[in-house]
Amino acid sequence: MMKPNTVNKLLVAILIALSTLLTACSGREDDLNRYIAEVKARPATPIPPIPPVRTYTPYVYEGLMGRDPFRQSTSEGSDQVAQSGAGKGPRPDLQRPREYLERYELDTLSMVGTFSKESSEWALIRDPDGVIHRVAIGNYIGKNHGKVNNISNNEVQLSEFIADGIGGWLVREASVALGGS
């Protein structure tokens, strides 16, 4: 425990230190007031004018001159466009029953392997839900009527039918490669 005389000296030392600090702060305040006065004395710079408002030009709808905004585009409902068209050339069989993997886009499917038994070969395809399906040559996968033509150790090759928008079909080669997630 400290002696009362030592405590009094300690308190006096603390009070002197605090008063010195307060005196030092008042000098900074003078500098601040001087700077504020200097800034207020500067001439004001003019504010740039507000840019002019552009006038609104309304769009005139020309009715039957353009595409009907309430009809499907040619990419939507391509099966319906092709059924009603009288185009010539290759066509998918729209009457056949759809296979399970035709409900997915090709880029959502991944090949995870192959296997064969006797003279039959199959590819193993994973759908977006993680379910593995067995696919053979002649099966259909993908939304564009993709028919499997060839199965190798690295990929499944297929031919897809793409609607051209004027009632015909184009054949496009595609593949699903080994790998993926």
Q: Whole-model pTM?
A: 0.51
Q: How does residue 23 score in pLDDT terms, banded at 50, 70 and 90?
A: low
Altogether, the residues listed in the chain come to a count of 181
Query: What is the rounded average pLDDT of the residues 39-54?
Result: 89
- Do residues 169 and 162 lie in contact, with contact meaning Cβ atoms separated by under 8 Å? yes
Amino acid identity for residue 147 in this structure: K
Q: Is 21 helix (H, G, I), strand (E, B) or coil?
A: helix
- Do residues 158 and 107 lie in contact, with contact meaning Cβ atoms separated by under 8 Å? no
Q: What are phi and psi of 157, to 5 degrees?
A: -100, 140
What pLDDT sits at residue 59? 76
What pLDDT sits at residue 81? 43
What pLDDT sits at residue 77? 45
Element (H, E) at 28: helix 4-41
What pLDDT sits at residue 78? 43
pLDDT in tens, 98-154: 999 999 998 899 999 998 888 889 999 999 998 999 999 999 999 888 999 999 989
Q: How does residue 86 score in pLDDT terms, banded at 50, 70 and 90?
A: low
Distance from the Cα of residue 57 to its chain's centroid:
34
Whether residue 84 has pLDDT greater than 50: no
CA distances from 87 to 7, 112, 146, 161, 179 (A): 108, 38, 20, 13, 38
What pLDDT sits at residue 82? 42
Chain position carrying tokens 């020309």: 62
Distance CA 71, CA 164 (A): 17
